[in-house]
Amino acid sequence: MNYFSEKDDVPADKIPDGPLAGKWNRYKATCRLVSFNNKKKLDVIVVGTGLAGASAAATLAEGGYNVKSFCFQDSARRAHSVAAQGGVNAAKNYQNDGDSVFRMFYDTIKGGDFRSREANVFRLAECSASLIDQAVAQGVPFGREYGGYIANRSFGGVQVRRTFYARGQTGQQLLLGAYSSMMRQVKAGKVELHTRHEILDIVLIGGKARGVIARNLDTGKIERHAAHAVILATGGFGKIYYLSTLAMGCNGSAIWRAHKKGACMANPSWTQIHPTCLPQSGEHQSKLTLMSESLRNDGRIWVPLKKDEIRPPNEIPEEERDYYLERRYPAFGNLAPRDISSRAAKERIDEGHGIGPLKNGVYLDFKHAINEYGKETIKERYGNLFRMYEKITGVDAYSQPMKISPAAHFSMGGLWVDYELSTSISGLYALGECNFSDHGANRLGANSLLQACIDGYFVLPYTLGNYLADDIKTGPISTDHPAFDKAEVESRELLDRLLSIKGTRTVDEFHKELGKIMTDKCSVSRSEIGLKEAISQIRNLRNSFWNDVRIPGKSDKVNSELEKAGRVADYLELAELMCIDALSRNESCGAHFREEYQTEDGEALRNDQDFAFLSLWEHNGENQPILHKEKLKFKEVKLVSRDYKK
């Protein structure tokens, strides 16, 4: 059975010619500009107020554009960037340990298993140092050494210390900086902030993104908003697994509806499973809690050597413990990359060495670090994380090990974008986690906050101007255009259709069932048989959803069940594409681990000859999706098998 068709054409990547190290500077020196006075004539919509959205809105407004900013939360400060804990990477080399822009570029390319563009990744590393200067100027309270210098620590997949942090609250502190900058522009009248709004559709006029249809979640009112360009900064779609580290409201609806309007999705199945989360404790849960990867700097991960061990961890002697990451990956040990660490944990759990009431976790032990550095030092480094752990579990992690387990966390896949962060729809841009651009098949820890900030503060202000230089004579975009009429009618019809089903099952029931299918068949590992079963199960579940979901209430007032229903309806379509994407790639790379393609010792077996490309998926209505292949070109790095053992 064929699940997709193929076409040879691929959108232009717009990567500048010339040496890698000079591409971004050359682009900035030659791109078209919009003068400050002309920027006042141009309107920009930014959807999302996390780090990518807030930084973009603040920077564009400061530059002179008229910005409309949207978020579904009651405050822009509640965007999910606030949940990021461990840190943000930058090639400052403050520790004098051999770091450089090129080394950071190489670590990121290698960490993503050589499945990302060289030019995009090099720009990420190149701009990283400027972000730290920007954040310090905003007052972000990075951790400091005794003498006052900014401190650094290591994260997974690297051998240098390049991660800047604010205890376990780095995302929150960076977001407060971006939020403050944005709210300054709100006060100045340059940003019009719309909280409690959800985007229902993207409006295209003449093939260009010219606005959005939004629903006021407090009143149910359907609104039209026009602009010369639309920026999506809506985060990832890991909540498709139901149990994930993401907040309950996080969703993929904005990018999925952009996809259905013509924006290609790239590598949608590449989802990061984070190795350090709290294990599921029962069927009652609706989300899982992230424990920062920074804990792996000092914590040691182990499982009992004996299967089905029932003794408390402190009663298991050292000789009966398996520090499996240190054993299998001695060069990186407990700081092996996330995809490798999660697979290793799953392998130990599946072999019967799991711990906890459900035997679904492993231990993260700080005994040795406390003995070496003292309890006060560990408390200074991770105190808020230990308090959070004790509040949730009732366990003092200073006296006994934490229990952790892998969980869905980050979407490496997302909307395809070119070098300018433009999607395949003219005038529609995607920033941060909602695009695919920088991380390949596996994101290194502390690169998520980095990408969001770099896209919003440093990249988009140049690339958007290059595009809008053609629009200075266009004049205001009218919401009376027939394209807005059509989009609004379709949005209302979707809401009415959902409310009219009046079935017997709740939205959460469908979401949980979908999450179980995806967790079992398209998560840490995948197989051809499992993916084909998942596609069939998802299609059946989607059919059941549209015939048997029950949504109480009406659309003209607050209705959280209607909000969830729209998101789950999108997930039921996106999930099928994720499984088709995973099925189409007959190799293992990064977080995409196909069981049929592995080495003798269980490591990912990449196929560079046949699969060194990005998978771009075009929506094709009710028909099969169309695959386009963007071939990856490597000139600065040599393709090698990832080896974290030596």
The catalytic residue positions are: 338
Could you count the other beta carbons within 10 Å of the beta carbon of residue 164?
28
User: DSSP letters of 478-514?
Assistant: PTTSHHHHHHHHHHHHHHHHHHH---SB-HHHHHHHH
User: DSSP letters of 211-277?
Assistant: EEEEEETTT--EEEEE-SEEEE-----GGGGSSBSS-TT---HHHHHHHHTTPPEE-TT-EEEEEEE
Strands 229-232, 300-304: parallel, antiparallel or unpaired by DSSP? unpaired
Q: Closest Cα partner for 439 from 430, 449, 448? A: 448
**Which residues, including other chains, have CB under 8 Å from residue 542's CB and lie 6 or more apart?**
572, 573, 576
Burial string for 274-305 (b: 16+ CB within 10 Å, else e) reads bbbbbbbbeeeeebbbbbbbbbbbbbbbbbbe
Q: Closest Cα partner for 42 from 199, 179, 226? A: 226
Burial string for 119-141 (b: 16+ CB within 10 Å, else e) reads bbbbbbbbbbeebbebbeebebe
CB–CB of 385/366 below 8 Å?
A: no
Phi-psi region of 521 (alpha: psi -120 to 50; beta: other; left: phi over 0): alpha
Q: How far is CA 646 from CA 311, 605, 640, in A?
A: 34, 18, 14
Alpha helices in 297-352 (DSSP H): 324-328, 338-348
**How far is the C-alpha of 428 from the C-alpha of 232, rounded, in Å?**
7
- Burial class of residue 496 (count of CB atoms within 10 Å of its CB; 0-12, 13-18, 19+): exposed
Three-state secondary-structure class, residue 38: helix
User: DSSP letters of 148-189?
Assistant: SPBP-B--TT-SS--EE-STT-HHHHHHHHHHHHHHHHHHTT
CB–CB of 128/454 below 8 Å?
A: yes
Could you count the other beta carbons within 10 Å of the beta carbon of residue 178?
32
CB–CB of 74/552 below 8 Å?
A: no
**How far is the C-alpha of 86 from the C-alpha of 108, rounded, in Å?**
17
Q: Closest Cα partner for 112 from 571, 634, 646, 517? A: 634
How open is the CA angle 42-48-51, to the nearest 5 degrees?
100
Q: Closest Cα partner for 126 from 27, 32, 57, 48? A: 27
Q: How far is CA 297 from CA 159, 294, 307, 362, 410, in A?
A: 11, 6, 27, 16, 21
